[in-house]
Chain A
Amino acid sequence: MASPKVAVLVFPGTNSEVETWRICRDVGLDSDVVHWSRAQTLPDYDAYVLPGGFAYEDRIRAGAVPAHDPMMDYVIEAAQGGKLVLGICNGAQIVLEAGLVPGTGPVRKPTAAFTKNGPVPHFVCKHVYLKLAVDPGRCAITAALERDAVIPAWAAHGEGRLAATTDHLQEIVDGGHLAFVYAHADGTVDERATPNASALFCAGLTNKAGNVLAIMPHPERDAWNFNHPRRREGTDILAPSGGVKLFSAFAKALKS
Chain B
Amino acid sequence: MESRIDHIALVSLFERARLNTELDGSAQAHLNSCHLCRGRLDWMQVSAGLGVRELSYDPPQPVMEAVLRLGRDSSRLKQLRNAVVALVTFDSFKQLAPAGIRSTEASSRQMTFETHGVEIGVLMRLSEDRKLSLAGQVLDKLSGPIQDPAARVDLVIEGDHIMTSSLSPWGEFVFSDVPKAQYGLQVYVLDRMLQIPSLPSIDEQRSPG
B is bound to A: no
Residues on B lying within 8 angstroms of A by beta carbon are none
